[in-house]
Chain A
Amino acid sequence: MSRYLLPLGIFIALVLLLGVALRLNPRLVPSPLVGKPVPEFSLELLRAPAQTLSRGDLTGKVSLLNAWATWCVECRREHPLLVDIAKAGKVPVYGLNYKDQRPDALEWLRRLGDPYVASGFDADGRVGIDLGVYGLPETFLVDADGMIVHKHIGPIDRQIWETEFVPIIERLQGGSG
């Protein structure tokens, strides 16, 4: 009887290991940028090409940087929540309009509402690469020093917002007064 225990034990361990691994989402690649400062960048604004959005705009307060595009279906699903977050006024939301067409993006904001204090227009995706963007939407939580504190890949829903973002934001904002 006991001679079967070892193979059985190995089998059970393997099943558990594979069972856990099956539940992981391989699409979620942890970003090495979390805990690092937002890289230097400068982009013309979606609405005003003459003006720029840069790293400096994100510092001095806790803020969100949301990478989005009109060709991104999940971004559309996420959009109403961003509008709500912007309305609540606790955290300013900045946009990174990634590899998009300007007229399309402007039309999107006109129809669905514009939650962004400003959106940088990243036509060729070069800033996206510096931010490690690989699957829209992606949302970065940036602290007052311009450090990336948290990154969420994929659309944020209310639950993710309440559990992943709000506690960090409250801690950061509470700390700075």
Chain B
Amino acid sequence: MVFEQREFDDAEQLERYKTLTYELRCLVCQNQNLADSDADLAADLRREVYRMIREGKSNEDVVDFMVARYGDFVLYRPPLKAKTVALWTAPFVLGIGGVILLLVQLRRRPAAPMATSLSDEEQTRLDALLGKNDS
């Protein structure tokens, strides 16, 4: 976490600042959000978020501002679009598919196996193995 002195009118603004910097991605260190990143650009973007919140802009305004400049990439929660349908649905499709596959496999497997009797030849071999050839 990087801390900068910020002053807000109320707790709600502070919460929004926290949420936004938490959910916007830093473009320089790509696996960090704005709140965590030490990068110069992240500091500048935090400053922009702060400025916009103080100016009374809504969360959507701030997000739109970032997306207009850096694309959907800045969002840790990508929007559901034609391009991202696979991204959003794949986990569910794969999960449900996996469960179905598992059920099918379990069903196919006989529940109580080996209820059959041995053939004569097998019985002879079994007897032989158990050392019953004398009797």
CB pair A99 B48 closer than 8 Å: no
0/1 string, A9-50, CB within 8 A of B gives 1: 000000000000000001101111100000000000000000
Residue from the list B28, B30, B44, B70 in contact with A132, Cβ < 8 A: B70
Which residues on A are within 8 Å of B, measured CB to CB? Answer: 26-27, 29-33, 99, 124-126, 129-132, 134-135
B residues sitting closer than 8 Å to A (CB atoms) are 27-28, 30, 40-41, 44-45, 48, 67-71, 73
- CB-based nearest B residue for A27: B30
Which secondary structure dominates where chain B touches chain A? helix
Task: Determine the main DSSP class of A at the interface with B.
Answer: loop
B25 to chain A, nearest CB (A): 10
Nearest to B68 among chain A residues (CB) is A32
A126 CB contacts on chain B under 8 angstroms: 44
| Contact, CB under 8 Å: B69 / A33 | yes
Additional 5 contacts, C-beta under 8 A, given A26-B30, A30-B71: A32-B68, A129-B44, A131-B69, A134-B27, A135-B27
Q: Which residues of B contact A26 (CB under 8 A)?
A: 30
Residue of A32, A131, A134, A135 touching B67 (CB-CB under 8 A):
A32
